[in-house]
Amino acid sequence: MPASPITIAIDGPSGSGKSSVSKAVARTLGLAYLDTGAMYRALAWWCLERGTDLTDQAAVAQAARDLPLHVGTDPDAADVRVDGTDVTEAIRQTRISSQVSAVATNLDVRAELRRRQRELIDSLRAERGGVVVEGRDITTVVAPDADHRILVTASEQARLARRAAELHGGTAEEHLAATHDQIVRRDRDDATVSAFFEPADGVTGLDTSDLTFEQSVQAVLDLVTGRLAPQPAPQPHTPDLQEHR
Ligand SMILES: Nc1ncnc2c1ncn2[C@@H]1O[C@H](COP(=O)(O)OP(=O)(O)OP(=O)(O)O)[C@@H](O)[C@H]1O
Ligand SMILES: Nc1ccn([C@H]2C[C@H](O)[C@@H](COP(=O)(O)O)O2)c(=O)n1
């Protein structure tokens, strides 16, 4: 655990690798991990489960305020539960990925989930020494005062290829259609309420297009270790011969 609490904020477009990289960084540094996208996904899941029309802005905003949500913050067990039901896997399904933007572009929803995210960050700083928190608006709105703010990007081609590599079964055409919706269309919708293609002032951009996963993790660690590495204790001053000349 670092000597003083630390927040590492990481944003990026879909498929840039921010979730897997953030998790690995949190694991390496012994910090908590907060996946804010999972919170929007859990809300979308709950609304669909209860038959709430996702285009009914007021009803979805009320659902956000009522959402009985648990988000696991251990990078090795980041489970998500809604009212006690484990939805960790369910919120990754295509039916959620394809509809979550309707929830995430609701400004009242964003206000409520950002409030919860800030509360979580504060308690993770106090109880776990710090957190790696990732999403779309963390570096700019949720935690603009974070100790480190990084925007992880990758070319559209690289992001499409990474997502396609995760799919199993189906034809190449089906993969192309699914990845295009999850990456290009979703980013276009999500970008109407957050800016995550270009680093804001004071945010460090990291283009991972030509990096391996391990190199991406190392690049983030390199950016933060200046702050995290134990500072060498000041050495007692021993004058050398030069100083006596
Ligand atoms: N150089 C790289 N850096 C990061 N991830 C990579 C890299 N190369 C391949 N990947 C892979 O890309 C995939 C997408 O990563 P991840 O799910 O973390 O993206 P994301 O930005 O969180 O996307 P989303 O916002 O859609 O959840 C993962 O399977 C990851 O292992
Ligand atoms: N801070 C955030 C985090 C996520 N979102 C939106 C964007 C996505 O459509 C959705 C799910 O995120 P993912 O799990 O794919 O990272 O939630 C957002 O608007 N702000």
Domain residue ranges in the chain:
7-225
Asked if residue 11 lies in contact with residue 135, where contact means CB atoms within 8 angstroms, the answer is yes
How many angstroms separate the CA atoms of 32 and 22, rounded?
10
Over the stretch 111-148, which tens digit does the pLDDT of each residue have? 999 999 999 999 999 999 999 999 999 999 999 999 99
Using alpha carbons, select from 149, 171, 153, 151 the residue that is nearest to residue 162: 153
Coil, helix or strand at residue 86: strand
For ligand 1, is residue 166 a contact (CB within 6 Å)? yes
Residue type, 70: H
Mutation choice for ligand 1 from 20, 34, 153, 210, CB with most ligand atoms inside 8 A: 20
Q: What is the pTM of this model?
A: 0.91
| CATH number assigned to the domain covering 7-225 | 3.40.50.300
**ipTM surpassing 0.90:** yes
The kind and range of the H/E element at 23 are helix 18-29
pLDDT per residue as tens digits for the range 27-71: 999 999 999 999 999 999 999 999 999 999 999 999 999 999 999
Q: Which atom of ligand 2 is nearest to the CA of 142?
A: 1
* Residue 85 to residue 91: CA distance in whole angstroms: 12
**Which atom of ligand 1 lies closest to the CA of 12?**
21
> Given ligand 1 and candidates 213, 214, 218, 221, which is best to mutate, with the most ligand atoms within 8 Å of its CB?
213
Of the bound ligands, which one is closest to the alpha carbon of residue 143? Answer: 2
Q: Is 83 left (phi over 0), alpha (psi -120 to 50) or beta?
A: left
Distances (CA, A) of 183 to 71, 101, 105, 159: 24, 12, 16, 7
